């Protein structure tokens, strides 16, 4: 192997060699520091939830079913002008007699603002649900999140309000400790399970990694979360009462359905009594023949039905930025006589129009999907640019180190030659 030659003489040439070595060392050091420190600092800033921002998303369902207990004339047959015959007989009235169907939207506005601590941010969300353009529910919540992880702080500062415009009433939940993600995902989420905070009930659910899926040509992580059937009366009591004990919950369970509606939603007695018309009656009013046989009910067996809340959610998240590019929510509020029945109906996918209080299968509309893509793409490009920058800095550092080593070898050989 041919040895490199170094035509360096003592004096000025060695001085130039020394300056060149110092320059190469400085370039290598700067390249290493900049390439290894600058991108993480910028990425840390990107991870932080921005403050003073407002985000809008809209989910749509082509056809939703909703129960309107304030209706003065039974609708029947999904809002048809002529009610079905059984809807005109008080003893045979079912929930379907007061149902209406039509397209539904769920609009969410999320606003971030500064908190007392730099690493925390206040997040206020308002979800407005409408069916055929008529408002049917509003959910407002306030929480404080850690800006770097998107998880709530461990302080009792979360508050929420659920209102039903048609009833002119609602439920207010006192300050409490919020658990689980909502409404943001962490930056660069991992392929694992997280806790998710349901906006309607207080108990967090598991948000599980499912796999990958392309959305508009972009690979995403798919996560799913299912809120198991939850007795809404119990959920409201737990959320609004301060640490209710088993005796208090048992006492609530002993109340009649109208009393529960009146107590929980603060509706007038006439509206509360209306619920008796479709929450109390023979099993054949709520179950098909096959379902009665499955559960062992007799057609004339008297049942008292209570509302249960069941939701299945899917999120499609860009894995580098944590931006949700698409989302689907299947919401099903239905009547069942017990927790066991409610769970079995959900597990076996038993659906019956005569048990539906509200049902809708939501998905991001096209405008929201486009805006979420617009939100993610600049961050993706910035991350790509940082990756290229770090690579270039690495190459520069490698070349500078190589030059330094070459100069050092030449210097030593020149000094050895001069001393010979």
Cα 363 to Cα 135, 181, 277, 330, 338: the distances in Å are 18, 19, 33, 9, 30
Lowest pLDDT segment from 26-30, 43-47, 92-96, 153-157: 92-96
Q: What is the mean pLDDT of residues 397-415?
A: 85
DSSP, collapsed to helix, strand or coil, labels residue 66 as strand
Residue 356 has pLDDT above 70, yes or no: yes
Lowest pLDDT segment from 29-33, 62-66, 358-362, 416-420: 416-420
Asked if 46 contacts 379 with a C-beta cutoff of 8 angstroms, the reply is yes
Helical packing angle, 12-47 and 366-419, nearest 10°: 160
Among candidate residues 381, 390, 378, the one with its CA nearest the CA of residue 39: 390
Residue 333 has pLDDT above 90, yes or no: yes
Q: What pLDDT shows up at residue 251? A: 66
Please state the domain extents for the chain. Answer: 12-44+390-419, 49-364
4-37 pLDDT, tens digit per residue, is: 455 544 444 667 878 888 888 888 898 889 888 8
Q: What pLDDT shows up at residue 415? A: 77
DSSP label of 296 = T
Split at pLDDT 50, 70, 90, the class of 52 is: very high
The per-residue b/e assignment along 90-113, b for 16 or more CB within 10 angstroms, e otherwise, is: eeebbbbbbbbbbebbbbbebebe
Split at pLDDT 50, 70, 90, the class of 404 is: confident
Residue 108 has pLDDT above 80, yes or no: yes
Asked if 104 contacts 164 with a C-beta cutoff of 8 angstroms, the reply is no
The per-residue b/e assignment along 210-248, b for 16 or more CB within 10 angstroms, e otherwise, is: eeeeebeebebbbbbbbbebbbbbbbbbbbeeeebeeee
Query: Bridge-partner residues for 219, per DSSP?
Result: 214
Split at pLDDT 50, 70, 90, the class of 169 is: confident
Q: What is the mean pLDDT of residues 327-331?
A: 96
Give 168 or 327, the one with higher predicted confidence. Answer: 327
Split at pLDDT 50, 70, 90, the class of 245 is: low
174/239 Cα distance (integer angstroms):
8
Q: What is the mean pLDDT of residues 186-194?
A: 94
What is the residue-averaged pLDDT of the chain? 85
Q: What is the mean pLDDT of residues 314-343?
A: 95
Residue 151 has pLDDT above 60, yes or no: yes
124-136 pLDDT, tens digit per residue, is: 999 999 999 989 8
Q: What pLDDT shows up at residue 276? A: 72
Split at pLDDT 50, 70, 90, the class of 243 is: low
Lowest pLDDT segment from 73-77, 169-173, 261-265: 73-77
Among candidate residues 332, 311, 345, 54, the one with its CA nearest the CA of residue 196: 311
Split at pLDDT 50, 70, 90, the class of 196 is: very high
């Amino acid at each position: 192997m041919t040895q490199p030659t170094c035509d360096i003489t003592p004096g000025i040439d060695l001085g130039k060699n020394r300056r060149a070595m110092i320059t190469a060392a400085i370039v290598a050091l700067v390249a290493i520091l900049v390439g290894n420190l600058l991108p993480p600092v910028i990425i840390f800033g990107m991870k932080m939830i921005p403050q003073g921002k407002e985000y809008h998303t809209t989910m749509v369902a082509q056809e939703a079913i909703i129960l309107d207990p304030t209706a003065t004339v039974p609708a029947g047959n999904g809002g048809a002008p002529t009610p079905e015959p059984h809807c005109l007989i008080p003893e045979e009235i079912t929930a379907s007699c007061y149902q209406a169907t039509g397209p539904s939207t769920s609009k969410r506005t999320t606003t971030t603002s500064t908190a007392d601590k730099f690493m925390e941010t206040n997040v206020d969300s308002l979800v407005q649900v409408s069916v055929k353009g008529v408002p049917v529910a509003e959910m407002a919540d306030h929480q404080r999140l850690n800006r770097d992880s998107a998880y709530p702080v461990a302080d009792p500062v979360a508050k929420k309000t659920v209102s039903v415009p048609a009833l002119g009433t609602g439920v207010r939940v006192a300050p409490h400790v919020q658990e689980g993600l909502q409404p943001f995902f962490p930056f660069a989420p991992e392929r694992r399970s997280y806790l998710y905070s349901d906006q309607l009930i207080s108990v967090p659910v598991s948000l599980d990694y499912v796999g990958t899926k392309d959305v508009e040509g972009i690979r995403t992580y798919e996560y799913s979360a299912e809120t198991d059937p939850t007795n809404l009366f119990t959920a409201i009591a737990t959320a609004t009462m301060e640490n209710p004990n088993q005796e208090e919950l048992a006492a609530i369970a002993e109340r009649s359905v109208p009393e529960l509606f009146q107590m929980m939603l603060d509706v007038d007695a006439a509206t509360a009594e209306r619920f008796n018309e479709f929450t109390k009656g023979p099993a054949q009013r709520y179950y098909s023949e096959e379902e009665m046989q499955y559960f062992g009910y007799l057609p004339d067996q008297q049942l008292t039905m209570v509302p249960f809340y069941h939701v299945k959610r899917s999120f499609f998240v860009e894995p580098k930025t944590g931006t949700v590019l698409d989302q689907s929510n299947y919401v099903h509020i239905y009547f069942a006589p017990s927790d066991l029945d409610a769970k079995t109906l959900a597990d076996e996918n038993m659906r019956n129009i005569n048990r539906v209080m509200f049902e809708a299968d939501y998905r991001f509309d096209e405008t929201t999907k486009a805006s979420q893509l617009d939100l993610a793409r600049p961050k993706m490009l910035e991350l790509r640019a940082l990756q290229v920058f770090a690579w270039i800095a690495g190459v520069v550092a490698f070349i500078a180190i190589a030059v330094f080593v070459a100069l050092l070898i030449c210097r030593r050989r020149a000094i050895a030659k001069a001393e010979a």
